[in-house]
Amino acid sequence: MSEVRPAASIRFAGGRKPHLPALDGLRGVAILGVLLFHTGHLPGGFLGVDLFFTLSGYLITDLLLREIEATGAVSLVAFWGRRVRRLLPALVTMLAGVAVIVWVAGPPDLVRTTLDDGPWVQLNLVNWHLLAESAGYWDRFGSQRVFEHLWSIAVEEQFYLLWPPVLLVIARFAKWPETRVAVVAATASIGSLALMVALVGAGDPSRVYTGTDTRAFSLLLGAVVATGPVRAALVRAAGRWVGIVVALLAAGIGILWSLADGTASRWLFTGGLFAHSLAAALLIGLCVRAPRTWVAKALAWRPLRWFGLLSYSLYLWHWPVFVLLSPERTGLGGPARTGAVLAVSIGLATLSKYVVEDPVRFRARWAAGRSGVLAFTAVMAGLAVLWVVLPAPAPAVVDITGL
């Protein structure tokens, strides 16, 4: 959902390059899959979130390794400051806007869940909050909550908080930091898979699907491939057949997307999600090292890249729009509703990117340094006040006297 840098024209110490246009295209594929899933046109499109996770693990780890290569350390304050400037403006805008709209025009049940979930979104813990409330991910189409899709943003934010200190420790004490990062990430990813297999039961798999511990392998496999030794080994292994290998990986991912069907596909939670993440990580690594394959060139198609660059805001807005533009409110159904949801979501996401995100991220000097800290504090305090001042409707009273 989030990006590290928009395109690839910068060079870093040691000749290491940032991500290529194909990775923007992959992000575009991911968000389109999620949109098609939520509008009922691609049952396996939810795997786009898994692709987002793997991309994030790769990009963040690559960014931190480039910093280690250039400076020998990781500046945690600088990293977290960049993440806040990148992610918070669009998120706060969406949270406040949707909360007010729901409070003004939403049914009482939706208002209550929105005001209940909002503080947990702000704390980046909404995935655990929803699990504590037994709000199953796969039940969301029945009991809709406008912020429920933000469980994945919470998982990524928790990764951004925990993973950089690990790399900082490795940079200080390891002789070969990239090799050590690969070993640590690979070992942790296997542990995460073991937890998923151990904890998944016969019922609702929401615990293992949205839990940070059981989904960490998607991010960590991306981190493994971000290391130089692993990427170089991939290219050597593929050899002159790299184009065919990339095509097979892309086809395999497409087949998984066509076969997966949520709770009906129990194989996802006993290794299927891990296999998908691994295929995605290998595809990312090979696209970076072999950008002239036809798959990488197809992913660099400009419209697909544009969706990729828009993907964070589009992910934030699409689900609240889907919930609020319900058939009951709009009188629309089928393709007409899908078109309306997509048009409104893309419009809001475009406004968010070009009016809110990019100005704060690239041009607002006040968003960095001491003034940035003050702005962050004020925004978080204001958002916290919002959850308090918007009164929630009283719970419905059930009359049992006639029972």
Using the predicted structure, report yes or no on whether residue 282 has a pLDDT greater than 80.
yes
Q: Is residue 397 part of a domain?
A: no
Domain count, the chain: 1
Q: Confirm if 148 and 137 have CB atoms less than 8 A apart.
A: yes
Q: Is residue 396 part of a domain?
A: no
Burial of 10 (C-beta count, 10 Å sphere; 0-12/13-18/19+):
exposed
Rounded to whole angstroms, how far apart are CA atoms 229 and 26?
Answer: 23
The confidence score (pLDDT) of residue 144 equals 79
Closest of 9, 30, 54 to residue 299, by C-alpha: 30
Q: Which tens digits make up the pLDDT trace of 217-267? A: 999 999 999 999 999 999 899 888 999 999 999 999 999 999 998 778 889
Domain residue limits at 346: 13-389
Q: Is residue 1 part of a domain?
A: no
Burial of 300 (C-beta count, 10 Å sphere; 0-12/13-18/19+):
buried
**Residue 11 — very low, low, confident or very high, per pLDDT cuts 50/70/90?**
very low
Closest of 177, 185, 127, 136 to residue 154, by C-alpha: 127
Rounded to whole angstroms, how far apart are CA atoms 127 and 137?
Answer: 10
Closest of 41, 64, 37 to residue 50, by C-alpha: 37
Residues whose CB is less than 8 angstroms from the CB of residue 334 and which lie 6 or more positions away in sequence, other chains included = none
The confidence score (pLDDT) of residue 143 equals 55
Using the predicted structure, report yes or no on whether residue 163 has a pLDDT greater than 90.
yes
Q: Which tens digits make up the pLDDT trace of 334-381? A: 899 999 999 999 999 999 999 999 999 988 888 888 999 999 999 999
Rounded to whole angstroms, how far apart are CA atoms 286 and 234?
Answer: 7
pTM above 0.95, yes or no: no
Q: Is residue 395 part of a domain?
A: no
